[in-house]
């Protein structure tokens, strides 16, 4: 599942390519990936949601593309007769396991769910083989509510070591589970939680309340380092993740824990251990190095 570095890469690509572009037409091919603004509204028919998306985005101008947590946020506004822009909407795209936002992809691809044809002749396509990702068109108040439900961003300078320590030490859950809780910290998933904990020499199952303040400061530093390094290499691709141009991320070769169960620890040589006991996801760690 694309995490912070992967969705950040996609968002940066799209912002550079699409800012200022105008949507000429919208085709909703697979409406089951659409979500409404709130649980009650999401129970509307797929056809009604598809019509709403098409109506809101046809003729709209892309004001910018950003990332929040593991989602790509595309901001649109309607261009009126006098050149004024109004009716700001945000399309929140959460790719999950096989979703991808592609610029100028193959138009007849069987896995296209949403296609936006732009006035300049290009297209933006949401492609999803398993259709586990979601697209939600949110107005200003709904977007604010969605964003407020998420935790702070790990790369935000406003997240001080003291605040991060409070997040970790304020819970009795396993530290890896805390890192992956999007309400506590946004954007970190299984890959980078494993990597940051390996770098910080902290056992993933250690209870948050038992992690010292000094260890929390080190964990934040290592988390930021691994996320920044992965962004520089355009994320981690094992199988499905692709950037906005269909390219693969290059960070997989630098992974020290994730995906390396049974291999020697590069720090001490001990065999890396693995379990699925935390959140049902594979946790990999070194019994000798991480305590």
Q: How far apart are CA 250 and CA 230, in angstroms?
A: 8
Mean pLDDT within 142-169: 97
Q: How far apart are CA 103 and CA 82, in angstroms?
A: 29
Evaluate whether 77 touches 57 at the Cβ level (below 8 Å).
no
Q: Give the Cα-Cα-Cα angle 70, 73, 75 (nearest 5 degrees).
A: 175
pLDDT band at 279 (very low <50, low <70, confident <90, very high): confident
pLDDT at 216: 98
Residues 6+ apart with CB under 8 A from 236: 5, 6, 191, 230, 249, 251, 252, 255
Residues 6+ apart with CB under 8 A from 169: 208, 209, 211, 213, 216
CB atoms near residue 4 (< 10 Å): 26
The percentage of the chain sitting over the pLDDT mark of 70, rounded to a whole number, equals: 93
Q: Is 83 left (phi over 0), alpha (psi -120 to 50) or beta?
A: left
Element housing 189 (H / E): none
Above 60 in pLDDT, residue 38?
no
Q: How far apart are CA 168 and CA 42, in angstroms?
A: 34
Q: Which tokens is 45 given? A: 């028919």
Half-sphere exposure of 82 (CA within 13 A, CB side): 2
Mean pLDDT within 56-85: 87
User: Strand 34-35 to strand 134-138: parallel, antiparallel, or no bridges (unpaired)?
Assistant: parallel
pLDDT band at 142 (very low <50, low <70, confident <90, very high): very high
Catalytic residues: 2-3, 70, 281
Class (C level, CATH) for 4-148: alpha beta
Above 90 in pLDDT, residue 92?
yes
pLDDT at 134: 96
Evaluate whether 148 touches 180 at the Cβ level (below 8 Å).
no
Mean pLDDT within 48-63: 94
The percentage of the chain sitting over the pLDDT mark of 90, rounded to a whole number, equals: 86
What pLDDT digit, counting tens, does each position of 214-241 carry?
999 999 999 999 999 999 999 999 888 9
For the chain, give every domain's residue range. Answer: 4-148, 161-285
Q: Which CATH architecture has domain 161-285?
A: Orthogonal Bundle (1.10)
Above 50 in pLDDT, residue 39?
no
Please choose, from the candidates 137, 141, 193, 184, the residue with its C-alpha nearest in 3D space to the C-alpha of residue 163: 184
Q: How far apart are CA 288 and CA 268, in angstroms?
A: 8
CB atoms near residue 68 (< 10 Å): 20
User: Strand 112-118 to strand 23-28: parallel, antiparallel, or no bridges (unpaired)?
Assistant: antiparallel
Dihedral sign computed on CA atoms, order 7, 12, 17, 23: positive
pLDDT at 165: 98
Element housing 169 (H / E): helix 161-169
Q: Which tokens is 91 given? A: 């399309």
């Amino acid at each position: 599942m694309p995490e912070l570095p992967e969705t950040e890469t996609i968002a940066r690509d799209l912002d550079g390519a699409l800012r200022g572009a105008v949507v000429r037409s919208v085709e909703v091919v697979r409406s089951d990936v659409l979500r409404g603004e709130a649980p009650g509204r999401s129970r509307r028919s797929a056809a009604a949601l598809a019509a709403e998306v098409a109506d809101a985005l046809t003729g709209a101008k892309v004001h910018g593309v950003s990332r929040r947590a593991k989602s790509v946020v595309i901001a649109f506004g309607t261009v009126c007769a006098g050149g004024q822009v109004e009716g700001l909407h945000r399309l929140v795209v959460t790719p999950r396991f096989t979703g991808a936002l592609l610029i100028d992809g193959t138009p007849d691809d069987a896995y296209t769910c949403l296609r936006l044809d732009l006035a300049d002749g290009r297209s933006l396509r949401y492609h999803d083989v398993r259709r586990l990702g979601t697209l939600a068109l949110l107005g200003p108040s709904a977007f604010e509510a969605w964003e407020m439900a998420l935790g702070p961003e790990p790369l935000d300078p406003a997240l001080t070591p003291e605040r991060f320590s409070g997040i970790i030490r304020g819970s009795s859950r396993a530290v890896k589970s805390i890192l992956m809780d999007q309400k506590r910290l946004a954007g970190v998933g299984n890959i980078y939680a494993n990597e940051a904990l390996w770098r910080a020499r902290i056992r993933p199952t250690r209870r948050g309340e038992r992690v010292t303040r000094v260890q929390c400061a080190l964990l934040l530093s290592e988390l930021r380092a691994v996320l920044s390094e992965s962004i520089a290499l355009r994320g981690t691709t094992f199988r499905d993740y692709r950037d906005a141009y269909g390219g693969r991320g290059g960070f997989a070769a630098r992974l020290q824990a994730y995906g390396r169960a049974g291999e020697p620890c590069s720090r001490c040589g001990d065999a890396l251990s693995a379990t699925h006991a935390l959140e049902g996801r594979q946790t990999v760690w070194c019994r000798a190095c991480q305590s």
